[in-house]
């Protein structure tokens, strides 16, 4: 099918909530993708950090196919092996105690919110259900996770939003200004992804962790984007030197299937008891099998390679000294590139796309989230397109 036909059908029958780039993707191999008409693209997006082990990774394809042929789904009223195996593996690598599995980032964060409120209710009763979040954060698109998101542009149309969130500037003064006796938790991203790839200060995170412990506020880390190897450790908090009370994950966990969840530390392992939380597809065996294989591929040894690839891309981009691009920031293969005034990040992304390189935008920046398995050859091809397009 040609692109115009694909586009026309989509325009007519799909609700117009996405500002799609004028490209269709039909198939791929690792970080190289092809349109239905056969145009080749180097992929620095991995489907917004989802295709963490690349497209059509043979181990992943095999794991999904084998599990699909065995058991595609069973409810959470019964035991299935992939779910427990995955929970054990994640807890061991993350230093956490137990896992709950869900289907998306927003749903996983909803779980963190319920966890914090239940923890506080059990211990202190009503009136302590407020969760502090940070300005420029992003936590999802449900009514509650929009309320948690610390950006006013997201607080439109869908009134009434869920009560019980206040956002603070990411400094200890900022936190002090919105703190109060009604607070039960702080929820944050260590690198704010959607708003432009902004790593938070390590000293702020340390001080905040101390304050949380003093006040018995749960420290909830949203690692939907930063988690599962993206920043060069399984979870980003492992580089910040903190142990959260609970952490959410989604995007990259199952290498392309819709999956997510959260891990809880010892203090919170029994907070959500029987009947307090559930989701029909949570822990689905195909997704769990895909996640186990994703974790096999993203081994501890592989974490160092991810960090090195990130450094390689960032220094290559800065060394090109392109007229429209400025400094880079981020950790591992979560990279923000400053776009200088004169053109928008979307204009730059469109030009790159025309020449065969897919990148993302976030806030005012270009955002690069390539598959963690991207090869040197694929990185070099992408960099060459960047140089040729933007010089
Ligand atoms: C993408 C993202 C979400 C939302 O995840 P969905 O799967 O789209 O619901 C939440 N938090 C962060 C930090 C994200 O990057």
Mean pLDDT estimate for the chain? 98
In terms of residue numbers, what domain contains 353? Answer: 3-52+300-390
Average pLDDT over residues 250-278: 98
| Residue whose structure tokens are 């400053």 | 338
Look at residue 272 and give its three-state secondary structure.
coil
Query: For ligand 1, is residue 250 a contact (CB within 6 Å)?
Result: yes
Specify the pTM.
Answer: 0.98
Same domain, 319 and 208: no
What is the per-residue pLDDT across 58-85, written as a single tens digit (0 to 9) for each? 999 999 999 999 999 999 999 999 999 9
Give the angle subtended at the CA of 93 by the CAs of 87 and 95, to the nearest 5°.
90
pLDDT class for 26, splitting at 50, 70, 90? very high
Atom nearest to 248 CA in ligand 1: 11
Q: How many domains does the chain have?
A: 2
Say how many C-beta atoms besides its own lie within 10 A of residue 81's C-beta: 14
Beta strands in the chain (DSSP E): 27-29, 32-34, 40-43, 98-102, 130-134, 165-168, 183-188, 191-192, 198-199, 218-222, 246-249, 260-264, 325-331, 334-339, 357-358, 360-362, 365-368
Q: Which of 297, 330, 356 is the last residue of a domain?
A: 297
The stretch 90-94 carries a mean pLDDT of 98
Claim to verify: residue 223 and residue 93 sit in the same structural domain: yes
Verify that 191 and 150 share a domain, yes or no: yes
Residues 261 and 229 in one domain: yes
Task: Report the phi/psi class of residue 30: left, alpha or beta, with left for phi > 0 and alpha for psi in -120 to 50.
Answer: left
Same-domain pairing of 151 and 264: yes
* Confidence grade of residue 365 (pLDDT, cut at 50, 70, 90): very high
Q: Give the residue from 297, 325, 360 where a domain finishes.
A: 297
Both 261 and 119 in one domain: the answer is yes
Per-residue pLDDT tens over the stretch 146-179: 999 999 999 999 999 999 999 999 999 999 999 9
Measured in angstroms, how far is the CA atom of residue 264 from the centroid of ligand 1?
A: 19
pLDDT at 319: 98
The predicted-structure confidence for 211-257, as pLDDT tens digits, reads as follows 999 999 999 999 999 999 999 999 999 999 999 999 999 999 999 99
Counting ligand 1 atoms within 8 A of each CB, the residue from 250, 336, 362 with the most, and so the one to mutate, is 250
Ligand 1 closest atom vs CA 142:
9
- C-alpha 226 to ligand 1 mean position (Å): 10
Report the CATH number at residue 288.
3.40.640.10
380 in the same domain as 282? no
Distance between CA atoms of 310 and 226, rounded to whole angstroms?
13
115 and 231: one domain? yes
Residues 46, 91 within the same domain: no
pLDDT tens for 279-295 read: 999 999 999 999 999 99
Residues 189, 200: Cα–Cα separation, whole Å:
8
Ligand 1 within 6 A of 224 CB? yes
| CA 198 to centroid of ligand 1, rounded, Å | 15
Same domain assignment for residues 19 and 123: no
């Amino acid at each position: 099918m040609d692109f115009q036909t694909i586009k026309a059908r989509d325009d007519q029958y799909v609700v117009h909530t996405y500002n799609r780039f004028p490209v269709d993707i039909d198939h791929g191999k690792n970080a190289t993708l092809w349109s239905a008409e056969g145009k080749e693209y180097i992929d620095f997006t991995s489907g917004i950090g989802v295709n963490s082990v690349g497209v059509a990774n043979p181990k992943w394809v095999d794991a999904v196919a084998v599990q699909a042929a065995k058991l595609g789904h069973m409810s959470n009223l019964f035991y299935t092996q992939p779910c427990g195996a995955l929970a054990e593996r994640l807890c061991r690598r993350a230093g956490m105690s137990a896992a709950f599995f869900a289907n998306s980032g927003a749903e996983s964060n909803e779980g963190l919110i319920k966890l914090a409120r239940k923890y506080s209710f059990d211990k202190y009763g009503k009136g302590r259900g407020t969760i502090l979040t940070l300005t420029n954060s992003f936590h999802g698109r449900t009514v509650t996770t929009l309320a948690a998101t610390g950006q006013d542009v997201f607080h439109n149309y869908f009134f009434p939003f869920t009560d019980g969130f206040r956002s603070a500037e990411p400094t200890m003064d900022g936190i002090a200004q919105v703190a109060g006796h009604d607070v039960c938790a702080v929820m944050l991203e260590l690198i704010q992804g959607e708003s432009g790839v902004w790593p938070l200060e390590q000293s702020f995170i340390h001080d905040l962790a101390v304050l949380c412990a003093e006040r018995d506020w749960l420290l909830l880390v949203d690692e939907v984007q930063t988690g599962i190897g993206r920043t060069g450790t399984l979870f980003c908090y492992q580089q910040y030197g903190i142990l959260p009370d609970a952490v959410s994950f989604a995007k990259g966990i199952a290498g392309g299937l819709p999956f997510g969840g959260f891990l809880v530390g010892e203090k919170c392992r029994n907070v959500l008891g029987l009947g307090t939380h559930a989701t029909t597809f949570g822990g689905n065996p195909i997704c769990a099998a895909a996640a186990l294989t994703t974790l096999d591929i993203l081994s501890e040894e592989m974490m160092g390679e991810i960090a090195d690839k990130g450094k390689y891309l960032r220094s290559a981009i800065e060394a090109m000294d392109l007229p429209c691009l400025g400094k880079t920031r981020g950790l591992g293969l979560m990279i923000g590139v400053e776009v200088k005034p004169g053109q928008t990040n979307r204009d730059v992304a469109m030009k790159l796309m025309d020449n065969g390189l897919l990148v993302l935008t976030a806030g005012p920046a270009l955002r690069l989230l390539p598959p963690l398995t991207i090869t040197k050859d694929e990185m070099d091809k992408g960099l060459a397109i960047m140089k040729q397009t933007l010089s």
